Homo-oligomer: A and B are copies of this chain.
Amino acid sequence: MNQLPFFITIPLPDWLTERLAVPMHLHDDEARMRFVIELSRENIVCGTGGPFAAAVFRAADGMLVAAGVNSVLRLENAVLHAEVMALMFAQARLGSHTLRTGGGIHELVTSCEPCAMCLGATLWSGVARLVCGATREDAERAGFDEGPVFAASYAYLEQRSIAVVRGVLRAEAAAVLDHYRESGGVAYNG
């Protein structure tokens, strides 16, 4: 067996780095969701991962802080869902493990309702708001398991003052998942 590595490196895909080079401000949920859905589509087209994307925005002025795309197969790392990528890069950019500090309130926008892991990561991230596009059912139709997420899971977030909005541009977001399945994309956790 290989030696245990001393460190892990997690790069964004090149196309996403290029895409994020220009500062961007998006001011409402639909504009942000449209951007995130575009990234989820691009992630399929570029062959860099599953059909999921997410981004962190600063609430006050809509500044795009960080974005992530599913990188499970690209980096052979099952933790690297889109939401985890976006949150880790946002925390790295702010230099803080909580997005409650570092210049304002932040929100996570994701192309699909988070799996159990990402819902937990959202809770620990310090975002004040979670905005979702496609639903669990849409993800399952494409062959993806979402894990143990229940109505009580969302209630738990709301009790901790994280607002949750679901179903923003759902049809557009779900269409990317359907396209992935129809084009023979792998559901690595199905």
Contacts and interface: CB of A to CB of B under 8 A. Distances in A.
A55 to B, nearest CB: 11
A78 B125 contact: yes
A1 interface: yes
A14 B188 CA distance: 33
B124 A79 contact: yes
Given A89-B4, A152-B148, A96 B76 contact: yes
A164 to B, nearest CB: 12
A170 to B, nearest CB: 22
A183 interface: no
Interface string A63-91: 10110000011011111000010011101
Contacts of A147: 120, 123-124, 156
A77 B188 CA distance: 25
Nearest to A125: B78
Interface of A: 1-12, 17, 20, 63, 65-66, 72-73, 75-79, 84, 87-89, 91-98, 103, 115-121, 123-126, 145, 147-150, 152-153, 156-157, 160, 188-189
